[in-house]
C-alpha cells in the first residue's frame, strides 16, 4: 500500500471546485499524503492540456477536471481512455444530465462563476460591512444589518461574521460584557435579526486559555476563570431572553456548521 497520492486538478478557470472536492476527499484519508497534488488553472489550449496529461501519466496522478470547454474535455477523456490515466470529469456528466432534462446547452465560458455582476459586488460590500461593524465598533450598523451576532468573548462572533458576509449577508456583531451597558440602539433592531451565541463554560475556558497562550499572556486572569465565565454566560442568557433572541450553542461546532444552522433558521423563518 502506497502512502502517497498525487492529484492533478485541471480547470479552464481557477479550479476552486476541484480544490473543494479534493479537500473533502483528502479528509477521508488521514494516513495518505496528498501534498504533491498540483493545480493547473486557466488551461485553454489543447497542446498545454496534453502536456499536463502526459505529466500526470508519468506521475501516476489521478486527474480531476472542471474544464467547461467541450473540445478540451473530449481530448482529456480520449487521452485517458487510450492511456489508462485515472480521470474524473466533474462538469460534463452534470451537463449531460441537464441536457437530458431540459435540452439546454452550457455556454462553455470559463470563469463565468467570477463574473463581476451585482451579486459579486453585493458580496464584496457585505464583507466590507462586516469588517466595519465587527466587535460592536459602530453600533449604528446594527439597524442596517441582516444579522447581528451577540455573545461573550470567544464565541466565534468575528469568524462567523466573515463567513456569513462571504455568502452576501450584512452581518455585525456585539460582544456581551456584563460591565458594559448595551448600546441603546439595540432596542431599535428587529429582534428577528439577532442571533445569540452560547458555549459550554469549560469549553470556553479552554478556548480562552489557548487564546492567551497564542498571545503569549499568562493565565492568572479572570478571563479564563470558570466562575467569571458562568457569570458572563448567565448575563448573556439574560440579554437573549430579554430580546427574545434565537440562540445557538457553538461548543465543538465549526464555523461552517454554526453558519449552516443560522442560515437554516432564517430560511425557515422566512418561509413561515
- Measured from the CB of residue 82, what is the shortest distance to a copy of itself in angstroms? 17
Burial of 77 (0-12, 13-18, 19+ CB in 10 A): middle
242 known member of a binding site: no
| Nearest to a copy of itself of 59, 237 (CB atom) | 59
- Measured from the CB of residue 264, what is the shortest distance to a copy of itself in angstroms? 9
151 known member of a binding site: yes
Question: What cell does 224 get?
Answer: 479564563
155 known member of a binding site: yes
Do residues 99 and 105 make contact, with C-beta atoms less than 8 angstroms apart?
yes
- Measured from the CB of residue 272, what is the shortest distance to a copy of itself in angstroms? 17
| Nearest to a copy of itself of 11, 245 (CB atom) | 11
- Measured from the CB of residue 259, what is the shortest distance to a copy of itself in angstroms? 9
Residue with grid cell 437530458, as numbered in its chain: 100
| Nearest to a copy of itself of 127, 237 (CB atom) | 127
How far is it, in rounded angstroms, from Cα 49 to Cα 44?
Answer: 8
| Nearest to a copy of itself of 124, 182 (CB atom) | 124
Furthest-apart CA pair in the chain: how many Å? 72
- Measured from the CB of residue 60, what is the shortest distance to a copy of itself in angstroms? 7
How far is it, in rounded angstroms, from Cα 272 to Cα 260?
Answer: 18
**Hey, how many other C-beta atoms are within 10 angstroms of the C-beta on 20?**
10
How far is it, in rounded angstroms, from Cα 241 to Cα 214?
Answer: 34
Annotated binding-site positions for ADP: 151-158
Amino acid at each position: 500500500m502506497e502512502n502517497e497520492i498525487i492529484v492533478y486538478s485541471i480547470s479552464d478557470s481557477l479550479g476552486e471546485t476541484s480544490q473543494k472536492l479534493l479537500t473533502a476527499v483528502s479528509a477521508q484519508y488521514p494516513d495518505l499524503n496528498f501534498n504533491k497534488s498540483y493545480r493547473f488553472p486557466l488551461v485553454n489550449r489543447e497542446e498545454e492540456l496534453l502536456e499536463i496529461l502526459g505529466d500526470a501519466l508519468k506521475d501516476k496522478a489521478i486527474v480531476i477536471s472542471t474544464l467547461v470547454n467541450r473540445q478540451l474535455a473530449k481530448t482529456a477523456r480520449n487521452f485517458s481512455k487510450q492511456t489508462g490515466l485515472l480521470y474524473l470529469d466533474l462538469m460534463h456528466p452534470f451537463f449531460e444530465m441537464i441536457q437530458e432534462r431540459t435540452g439546454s446547452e452550457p455556454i462553455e465560458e470559463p470563469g463565468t462563476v467570477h463574473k463581476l455582476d451585482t451579486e459579486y459586488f453585493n458580496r464584496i460590500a457585505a464583507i466590507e460591512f462586516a469588517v466595519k461593524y465587527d466587535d460592536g465598533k459602530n453600533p449604528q450598523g446594527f439597524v442596517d444589518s441582516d444579522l447581528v451576532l451577540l455573545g461573550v468573548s470567544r464565541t466565534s462572533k468575528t469568524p462567523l461574521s466573515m463567513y456569513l458576509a462571504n455568502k452576501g449577508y450584512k452581518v455585525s456583531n456585539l460582544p456581551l460584557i456584563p460591565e458594559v451597558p448595551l448600546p441603546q440602539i439595540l432596542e431599535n433592531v428587529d429582534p428577528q435579526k439577532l442571533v445569540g451565541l452560547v458555549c459550554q463554560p469549560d469549553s470556553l475556558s479552554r478556548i480562552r486559555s489557548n487564546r492567551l497562550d497564542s498571545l503569549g499572556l499568562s493565565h492568572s486572569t479572570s478571563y479564563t476563570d470558570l466562575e467569571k465565565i458562568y457569570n458572563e454566560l448567565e448575563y448573556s442568557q439574560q440579554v437573549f431572553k430579554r430580546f427574545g433572541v434565537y440562540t445557538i450553542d457553538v461548543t465543538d461546532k465549526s464555523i461552517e456548521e454554526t453558519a449552516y444552522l443560522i442560515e437554516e433558521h432564517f430560511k425557515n423563518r422566512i418561509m413561515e
